[in-house]
Amino acid sequence: MRAIRHVLIAVPAHDEAELLPRCIASIGAARQPAQRAGMSVDVVIVLDDCTDDSAAQVKSSRVEGLRVEHIRANSVGAARAHGIRRGLAASMAPPEATWIACTDADSEVPPNWIISQVALANRGADLVIGTVRPDPTDLSAEQIVAWQATRNLDHPNGHVHGANLGMRAQSYLAAGGFGRDRVHEDVNLVARIRALPAITVVASAEADVLTSGRRDARAPDGYARYLHRDLLRETREPVL
């Protein structure tokens, strides 16, 4: 298995002017140690049917080398797929030496996010399923307690989140990439990658991603629905 020498980060955004600057700044910070380790890192921001100031926020960012794409699909799956397709087309690195790292515009990645995923890849991982934690400022005290009660913070839970997901480009392409799903595009892709022969999947809690816990979700039936509808129900209902 070839060592990773190029990383492609794709970020879908739909009306994320408020949170997008935080996301971009965190990616910029995570890119620095990866570049010092000799990797090239490309970042593609896909603005999908945005009607707010998301484009201006990207333009005013102090992070250099961002590629911006505009589409009107109103689909997080289509936005991720578009960004990855454009990024791979612009790269000279072969798919077997390229790592695709995915996060969301309402999320903040830690400084070790890229190097953690790549280290796992270089030890044999084809797919890395990372963990996320909701922004506590978006939750009530009861929700915070409930979330903590359902999570072992020392171990990965293996839940699939597009906000913290990574894969070798060769595996991504073999699985057909992201579909045009408006929700669960991450879960569906992971299922297809898992079905490929000789695939190594690693669940990791080495680099938690902070993600929004807001109520006004951009994707239907996504993480916001879980936090604000299913989480308390999960902890309140008795186990039979």
Q: Please measure the distance between the N-terminal and C-terminal CA atoms of the chain and give it in whole angstroms.
A: 46
pLDDT at residue number 223: 58
pLDDT of residue 143: 75
C-alpha 99/C-alpha 118 separation (Å) is: 7
Q: Say what the pLDDT of residue 134 is.
A: 87
User: Can you name the residues that pair with 42 across neighbouring β-strands?
Assistant: 8
Residue 145 confidence (pLDDT): 77
What is the Cα–Cα distance from 170 to 135, expressed in whole angstroms? 33
Mean pLDDT per 10-residue interval, the chain, length 240 residues:
95 96 98 97 98 96 94 97 98 97 97 98 98 82 73 80 97 97 94 98 96 66 55 47
- What is the model's pLDDT at position 240? 33
Q: Which domains does the chain have, with CATH numbers?
A: 6-236 (3.90.550.10)
Strand order across the beta sheet in which 165-168 lies:
66-71, 40-48, 6-13, 98-102, 165-168, 127-134, 201-211, 107-108
Report the C-alpha dihedral over residues 133, 138, 143, 148, rounded to 10 degrees: 20
Q: Is the dihedral of CA 108, 153, 161, 239 positive or negative?
A: negative
pLDDT at res. 192: 98
